[in-house]
Structure 1
Amino acid sequence: MMNLLSYIVWNPDLEAFRLGPFAIRWYGLMWLIGFVLGYFIVKRLYKEQKIKDELFDPLFIYCFFGILIGARLGHCIFYQPEDFLTSWKGIVEMIFPILIGNDGSWLGQTFGFYIIGYAGLASHGGTLGLMIALWLYVRKTKLSIWTVLDNIAIATGSMACCIRLGNLMNSEIIGKITDVPWAFIFERVDAVPRHPGQLYEAIAYAILFGIMWYLHKRMPQKIGTGWYFGFCLTYIFTFRFFIEYTKEIQEAFEASLPLDMGQILSIPFILLGTYCMVRAKKS
């Protein structure tokens, strides 16, 4: 029998702090910290490469909206299409960070809807959205797409680590039941010990950032070849593919699939990352 006292009991407050009537949640705060870290890391890289400040300034506007829109659409389309694509209520909730009242009206308590933020963001969709946003950015700035992708890739580990820590604070994307001594009991979910999948990913992404920063110092000439971008994709989504074996499925329909949705969506990114690394080596 499992000794529940041996495990880490996890049930933090969703709110980090309040500013008057506004609650700042841990998840949103970790997203913000991740973006701020990414901002200063990439700004330093641009400075090292003597890229003009005016070309850097719009970058994170593109990144913010690209990741947010892509992550939101990715979750709604790949994980919950039956909830978001089958009614006007679902489509509105997909686009706006609100929850409409059960009667479907816009009146009633709190005018019939509640501002809850975006409950459901998918990293695969966020990655695709980021790539599209960066393509639009380079069309405007005329910078090399490979230079921009490599710079963002070097900073990605720090941002991804913060986002997964936000998932941990939300007790979401939980792991399967286990008896390992570092198991977490997510009280908001149930009372059994589970793999802390979010923490595994956060640690892996922090290590990725350390590797990328070290390599860019040793091999700055590779920036602009696409090698760092390829390495980043291959590392993240290969790890993501295997870590899925420790996670609970997010939606019921995944139980009938040979691989879960996270693994299926990881394969194209692994192939793309491998291609970019091979291409960079040849060039």
Structure 2
Amino acid sequence: MHALQIVWDPTKGIDLGFMTLHFYSMMWIVAFVLGFFIMKRIWKNEGQSNESLDSLFIYSVLGIMLGARLGHVIFYQSELITEDFFSIFLPFSFKDGIRFTGFQGLASHGAAIAMIISMYLFNKKVLKKTVMWILDRVVIPVALGAVFVRVGNFINSEIIGKFTGSDFGVVFKQLGETEPRHPAQLYEAFCYIFVFLALFYFYWKTKKSEQEGFLFGLFLFLLMTVRFFVEFVKEAQNPERADWLLNTGQLLSIPFILVGLYFMFVYKPKQKTAK
């Protein structure tokens, strides 16, 4: 093995006898727990109640998980709709017998769309401020959560990079390979740390949190720009589109990047008229 090459062959979880507790699932739990504590600090700073924070957490978890799953199915694995429908919503595969799979196949673009929808519903039912006010704050823990999700993907040897064609890279032994690939999951995770730090800085150290839409726009712009460029070293998740100039992940990222720029530099919230 070369000095710049890592052979990656970890266990994917802890065998509890009756089931395996997947590290990937644990990464999602860590993401939500850390996100809750970060949001608790922000919520306290904004003078909001603990009751509304509990509701926010529930809306976030359900919205992000459901959106991420549906996003993957719609954009990358639509055959599940006809071949194994219930596996979309349950951690089991029902094709050729019942088999526990855990929650696999989650798309960040679907999670982003669902986050916006769930925050709209949360605001309408609970907070009654503005959707943008909530999004400007909730994107901070979401950015940190993305770090742990990508680490989980690395543990699972999924969303892999292309072969490096050199001595540098990671050999994903679980895939039966002997040649190194780009650890694209770790590239993304590393970059997402800086996305989180940028959002954290702008919220706590500047007045940008008062510019409605700015932090939400910055989140979309930074996160999806990272996603766009890392996709160049990723293996195509849609093999039939491997020869496209831009892959599915990049094509989906471009609208989010443009929306992010819009909210950063163009968007002006409507002024409430006095009654």
TM-score (norm 2): 0.91
Match of 1:143?
A: 129
Q: How does 1:1-283 map to 2 (within 5 A)?
A: 4=2, 6-15=4-13, 17-19=14-16, 21-81=18-78, 83-85=79-81, 87=82, 89-102=83-96, 112-141=97-126, 142-179=128-165, 182-189=168-175, 190-220=177-207, 222-223=209-210, 225-279=212-266
Aligned-residue offset at 1:19: 4.4
Does the CA-based 8 Å contact 1:177-1:193 persist in structure 2?
A: yes
For structure 1, the 5+ residue unaligned runs are 103-111
Does the CA-based 8 Å contact 2:25-2:103 persist in structure 1?
A: no
Matched letter for residue 227 of structure 1: F
Aligned-residue offset at 1:115: 2.0
Structure 2: how far apart are the matches of 1:167 and 1:218? 32
Aligned-residue offset at 1:222: 2.2
Aligned-residue offset at 1:258: 2.5
Aligned-residue offset at 1:210: 1.5
Does the CA-based 8 Å contact 1:30-1:163 persist in structure 2?
A: yes
Question: In structure 1, the residue corresponding to 2:105 is in which secondary structure?
Answer: coil
Matched letter for residue 152 of structure 1: V
Does the CA-based 8 Å contact 2:87-2:93 persist in structure 1?
A: yes
Aligned alpha-carbon RMSD (Å):
1.9
Does the CA-based 8 Å contact 1:161-1:205 persist in structure 2?
A: yes
Does the CA-based 8 Å contact 2:227-2:250 persist in structure 1?
A: yes
Structure 2: how far apart are the matches of 1:171 and 1:245? 18
Which has the larger displacement, 212-221 or 168-177? Answer: 212-221
TM-score (norm 1): 0.89
Distance 1:22 1:220, change over 3 A: farther
Structure 2: how far apart are the matches of 1:230 and 1:140? 24
Structure 1: how far apart are the matches of 2:235 and 2:12? 21
Does the CA-based 8 Å contact 1:230-1:276 persist in structure 2?
A: yes
Aligned-residue offset at 1:80: 1.5
Does the CA-based 8 Å contact 1:151-1:223 persist in structure 2?
A: no
Does the CA-based 8 Å contact 1:4-1:193 persist in structure 2?
A: no
Distance 1:161 1:181, change over 3 A: farther
Aligned-residue offset at 1:58: 0.5
Matched letter for residue 262 of structure 1: G
For structure 2, the 5+ residue unaligned runs are 271-275
Equivalent residues, number: 268
Aligned-residue offset at 1:116: 1.3
